[in-house]
Structure 1
């Protein structure tokens, strides 16, 4: 696997390296920034960046990887692995997380917080034969509708991998801008291990309202920049491997509106979205920082290629894992409203961790 050699050689030479495949694509990319990547400064502008790759944390400035070297390759035809549960329930973590959820519910009932997204981690030891590019190939086969990525930036001293379905900001060569509202989660597999059709999904009021918070947040961002001409498609149920979600798409023709700066403006307004943070944003961020004991780092940030062939594809970094040596830290979160059940929210994070664990840990 030539790209595997290029990946390892790039890291050994101190380069920042990103390998990715867009949803529903057979073509993958491997980019190297020989300088190790650049931490952008306040006031940076998306349209001013050269062709490259962006990776931003939940809170803070993004890293930019310039495309000093960019090659394309195929991820191959590796078959997806079985839908086996690989996550072992940790009773102390479960108790702690359910306590966070219970505290969030009480805070929401008191107001003004309406929704908050809480996350947790799950630490596991990787198999002895684990290879990043082999795992990327297997993720690509298992999740054709997700953005698949492996990323190494020297300043972060680790490798990040993700398989995320959530577009944050996207613009194609024709100038069509797109963002999505994605929230609400249920298992995409029945008790016998068979996939559940999206048409069979039944959503609770809590899940419908959780997704509506995200949709309203996007529309509020449009209002802030006085954007009224947009198409809204959804909500509808989508399948992402072992999970089902509610999704609404928002489309804007930036060329027809003569609005080329829209992607950069919306990126600044949207991140972090209520899908990974909560509503109102400031109150949600404060609750998260005061409650969670781990640093989210790149989890619930955003990443993806920018200004490549006049296109930009930035995704929220969900279903993600941080790898250091043979240690893997999986991140997962869930949206809490006043109708949440702590035990069900814990189970949701279990399902989300398994998105990557069932591929990487077997």
Structure 2
């Protein structure tokens, strides 16, 4: 049964008020919003890829992977066209107290690349914004209406927390053994330019991501096809994207483990880059740059990288932003990229973009 937007979000809001787990989500370029409302506050672990429901997997550490099971949850559906904008929130105060800290981290990453430790590393930071009163439903409405091409979600579990985001990046979609994935890298802001000019750094970063994903697919897939590199837009940011298709001939769980974390959120080689991130970033990424989505529901897998996301924690909205570092990176420009990403997601959820 398809509900009106008002009824759909009232049910989700009532579930949140009762401190019960739920998720609302919309697939990219789709006209419906789905909901899954868990009947108890039990924390269900994701143990294997044959489970059915909505999964949330962290950047590192599968022990923290959780699922909202379809079998013990109520399913909701509403038309996107029946959803009204959330309220416009007063401009939130952004303070950039960690600029020098982040630039020092980028410099350290560049030095490690020059020393041969890895070819690329993705370095990130968190941005804390005081927000004593959270209207998570209102923020999500603004998000889902302004990011039609993204995977938009609002996820809550009382034993884990509240997360929200609009991911532009597909980790993997599998339907009847047909695989779709993408290599997404590089970022430039929309400043009204009529043509986007990408530099060598951005093109190399994109190529590295594409090659690594191809390497993962070849062990589990056949009939692999690669598109031309395209410029795509998400809100007021442009990225380079390559689409890849294939036929799944191996184990889905093995393929997902090989893909995650992708070079677009970790680096290359993956192990060396992830070790550097865990040793040098100033915080725990948790579910940022992990993956999330549905298993064995609408199709075998529809999983997305957890980017353009935020967490609500201790009366603060915590935004997560980062960028790919290569040998040609300039720390000041890398800092500006994170600022632009943070402003974009913040302006969207507050209704000012």
TM-score where L is the length of structure 2: 0.89
Alignment partners' CA distance in 2, 1:203 and 1:268: 31
Kindly report which structure 2 residues correspond to 1:151-230, keeping only aligned pairs within 5 A, or say none.
Answer: 151-156=155-160, 158-172=161-175, 174-187=176-189, 189-190=190-191, 194=192, 196=193, 200-225=195-220, 227-230=221-224
The residue number in structure 2 matching 1:60 is 61
Counterpart for residue 3 of structure 2: none
User: Contact (CA 8 Å) 1:86, 1:354: kept in 2 or not?
Assistant: no
**CA positional deviation for 1:221:** 0.9
> Are the aligned partners of 2:94 and 2:129 in contact in 1 as well (CA < 8 Å)?
no
The CA deviation at 1:127 is 7.4
Q: Is 1:301 equivalent to 2:301 in the alignment? A: no
Q: 1:132 maps to which residue?
A: 136
Give the equivalent residue in structure 2 for 1:16. Answer: 21
Cα distance, 1:222 vs. partner? 2.1
Q: Where does residue 329 of structure 1 map in the other structure?
A: 318
Gap regions ≥5 residues in structure 1: none
Decide whether the 8 Å contact of 2:44 with 2:68 is kept in 1: no
Residues 33 and 66 of structure 1 are in contact (CA less than 8 Å); yes or no, is this contact kept in structure 2? yes
Q: 1:80 to 1:34 in 2, by over 3 A?
A: closer
CA drift of 1:7 comes to 2.0
Tell me the CA shift for residue 321 of structure 1. 0.5
For structure 2, the 5+ residue unaligned runs are 1-5
Aligned length: 340
Q: 2: CA distance between counterparts of 1:247 and 1:262?
A: 26
**Is the CA contact 2:180–2:244 (under 8 Å) kept in the aligned structure 1?**
yes
Judge conservation of contact 2:21–2:68 (CA < 8 Å) in 1. Answer: yes
Question: Which shifted more, 240-249 or 27-36?
Answer: 27-36
| Equivalent position of 1:123 in the other structure | 128
When the two structures are superposed, what TM-score results if normalisation uses the length of structure 1? 0.87
Residue 112 (structure 1) shift = 2.9
Q: Is the 8 A contact 1:142 1:241 kept in 2?
A: yes
Name the SS for the 2:227 alignment partner.
strand
- CA drift of 1:123 comes to 0.6
Deviation at 1:265, TM superposition (A): 2.7
The alpha-carbon deviation at position 311 of structure 1 amounts to: 4.3
Secondary structure in 2 matching 1:161: strand
Could you tell me which of 94, 97, 110 is aligned with 1:88? 94
Are residue 247 (structure 1) and residue 252 (structure 2) matched? no
Determine the C-alpha separation between the residues in 1 that align with 2:86 and 2:136.
16
Deviation at 1:266, TM superposition (A): 1.7
Secondary structure at 2:28's aligned position in 1?
Answer: coil
Contact kept, 8 Å, 1:17 with 1:32, in 2: the verdict is yes
Q: 1:270 aligns with which of 243, 259, 273?
A: 259
Q: Which residue of 2 is the match for residue 351 of structure 1?
A: 340
RMSD: 2.3
Does structure 1 residue 147 correspond to structure 2 residue 145? no
Counterpart mapping for 1:6-85 below 5 A: 6-36=11-41, 38-40=43-45, 44-46=47-49, 48-50=50-52, 52-61=53-62, 62-67=65-70, 68-75=73-80, 76=82, 78=84
Residues 122-172 of structure 1 deviation map (CA, whole Å, 9 limit, x = unaligned): 1112374x422222121122111011000002221x210001110001123
